[in-house]
Amino acid sequence: MQDTFIYEAKGQTLIIHMPKELDHHNCRDLRYETDLLMSECYITRIIFDFTKTDFMDSSGVGILLNRYKQMRLGGGRADYYGAGAQVTRVLKTAGIPALMSRYESKEEALYG
Amino acid sequence: MNRKEKMKITMDGLSQNEEFARVVTAVFASRLNPTVEELEDVKLAVSEAVTNAIIHGYPDGAGEVEVCAEAEITEAGERILTVTVHDTGIGIPDVEQAMEPAFTTAPKGERSGLGFLFMKAFMDHVAVDSKVGEGTTVTMTKQIGRQDK
């Protein structure tokens, strides 16, 4: 059984709704899918939505870091919202809060 | 009174078994009455070790991954969980280097290199025993119910 990612484009912003369990297995399609979307749309900002995510490991961090680097190369940014307790601890351990901004909700992430 | 219980699972080194391994281990660990946070730590560490075995131990295809866990209550009442993840894959030539943060040999650039760092951060102790051509065994322990951890 494979969780799927749901993508939502708002102007030049791409919102990626992350699955319930975010590990190596469930991450496999994300790279391909975002590359495809980014080749077709002009994206300057990625926002990760962790609202539904109960579990994330370092494979999830790898995905985030690579999308972050990709955005930075083009002068864009990557942020996230909806992180629960487990996701928050993992992001902190990986040093993500120094790179990406944390928001509580989609509205806050989109409109500050 | 010293009490020990153990379990062992052997599974194919397939990525869909990463979730299976961490959930089974968490269910086993729950008999030590851990907090939700402690259970999450265990799940994370198991996920990292099993993912390593699958990706790095068997780069050319699947072999078997064995996960053992032991729940111990010592005479002093300490609750200790020990988890061992074993593969018979290619082994790690330089364990010290492999355990450095952000070090990765994965070619596709999608790996963070944080697996061992996470195991060390979320468990109390991590030991890696590896022989090139023979495989790798990761042994992790965590004391359950310690306030400061």
Name the active-site residue from B100, B111, B134, B146: B111
Is residue A1 situated within a structural domain? no
Is B121 at the interface with chain A, CB within 8 A? yes
Q: Which residues of B touch A90 (CB under 8 A)?
A: 44, 118
- Residues A42-79 have pLDDT tens digits of 999 999 999 999 999 999 999 999 999 999 998 999 99
Confidence of residue A34 (pLDDT cuts 50, 70, 90): confident
Q: Which residues of B touch A85 (CB under 8 A)?
A: 37, 40
Whole-number Cα distances in Å, B50 to A53, B18, B21, B73 = 20, 6, 8, 26
Are A66 and B109 inside 8 Å of each other by CB? yes
d(CA A46, CA B137): 38
Is residue A22 situated within a structural domain? yes
One digit per residue, pLDDT tens: chain B, 149 residues?
689 999 999 999 999 999 999 999 999 999 999 999 999 999 999 999 999 999 999 999 889 999 999 999 999 999 999 999 999 999 999 999 999 988 888 766 678 889 999 999 999 999 999 999 999 999 999 999 986 54
Closest chain A residue to B120 measured between Cα atoms? A93
Which backbone phi and psi does B74 adopt, to 5 degrees?
-80, 170
**What is the domain-level CATH number for residue A74?**
3.30.750.24
Q: Which superfamily is assigned to B3-144 in CATH?
A: Histidine kinase-like ATPase, C-terminal domain (3.30.565.10)
Total structural domains in chain A?
1
Q: What is the CA radius of gyration of chain A?
A: 13
Residue A26 — left, alpha, or beta (φ > 0 → left; ψ -120 to 50 → alpha)? alpha
Task: For residue B63, count CB atoms less than 10 angstroms from its CB and return exposed for 0-12, middle for 13-18, buried for 19 or more.
Answer: middle
Give which of B58, B106, B87, B120 is closest to A27, Cα–Cα.
Answer: B106
3-state DSSP of A16-56: EECCCEECHHHHCCHHHHHHHHHHHCCCCEEEEECCCCCEE
Are A24 and B15 inside 8 Å of each other by CB? yes
> Which amino acid makes up residue A41?
C
* Contact indicator for A103, A83 with CB cutoff of 8 Å: no
Is B52 among the residues known to form the active site?
Answer: yes
Is B111 among the residues known to form the active site?
Answer: yes
Is B79 among the residues known to form the active site?
Answer: no
**Which of A20, A57, A64 would best serve as a mutation to test chain B binding (most B beta carbons within 10 A)?**
A57
* Tokens matching residue B84: 């061992």
ipTM score assigned to the predicted complex: 0.90
